[in-house]
Structure 1
């Protein structure tokens, strides 16, 4: 999967062609696409900003010190799952409303919060299962 000669447009195409508009990429691929040197937090933040502003592509990185073999999720921010991923990783009032809307119909805020906790747990379980399937440590 990892390519050393990849373009930003190819990353976008990978996301757009993926089921649910969510794909995997390595940090090496992001670095290569944007012709950057050593991958650091600053370089990764710059690449993430460019993908978001130029292509409406979000990047989810586990927050660990970046190394080129690490995989990240790339997602189309305006796709249904992308909107949820974005809301879950960028806390805001609109994001909270979006997450709560997914849990509707809830009779009250307490019920919505309980359903939201269940949704987050299911998302975590799915992430762990995906990482197991891919042979990644869940660290």
Structure 2
């Protein structure tokens, strides 16, 4: 990401709202970056949830299928059940955080609208950190 080239390209000292435009662009970059990181974290949680469910589900299935409830300790059984609950919690993270994603999208839309209202030179370009390449 070459964010500094983006900001240098949009810096126009002659524009009456230059500081506000750059501040809005920085807020947009921050919001887009957080959205990207949160989306990645949600899918990492999804993958961890699948692994956790597999690792705890197999012993629980063996307990159920072979009647091993008498042979293992209550602590081990509680650990497997807690792991299964944690796996379901991780597995549902992309769906549980839909409201947060929508809030980020709304924030980006408000920022883009303000950029257009202020007639900023950067209002028509999407800030993606590529430096215009």
TM superposition score category, shorter chain reference:
under 0.3
Kindly indicate which of the two structures has a greater share of residues assigned to strand. Answer: 1
Larger radius of gyration: 2
- Greater RCO, 1 or 2 (C-alpha within 8 Å, sep 6+): 2
Kindly indicate which of the two structures has a greater share of residues assigned to helix. Answer: 2
TM-score normalized by the length of structure 2: 0.27
